[in-house]
Amino acid sequence: MAWRYECGLCRETTGWLPKDQAAAKRDEHRDTAHPGMVPTAEVFESNAKPIAKDPAALRMWAIIAVVCLLAWVIQMVR
């Protein structure tokens, strides 16, 4: 998973980076380009897919739920 920072004031954008590096770039940009200002229009986003849009993740969670339900039913029958 990677993260990207975009400054809403000047449209400065980083590439996709690890979260700690993107946060460091954000802090560096704030300190050099907008010192003393309170950020108002920033975007700090991830390229991770939401689970609802990832069929493989949904299948995995469905399998886990079925296994747990099956284990619970077997335990209740005994």
Q: Return mean pLDDT, the chain.
A: 89
Residue at token pair 């991770």: 48
Q: Please count the other Cβ atoms lying within 10 Å of the Cβ belonging to residue 29.
A: 20
pLDDT in tens, 36-52: 887 778 888 888 877 77
Q: What is the pTM of this model?
A: 0.58
Domain ranges for the chain, please list them: 1-47, 50-78
Q: Please count the other Cβ atoms lying within 10 Å of the Cβ belonging to residue 73.
A: 9
Would you state the pLDDT for residue 48?
Answer: 80
pLDDT in tens, 6-64: 998 888 899 999 999 999 999 999 899 989 887 778 888 888 877 777 788 889 999 99
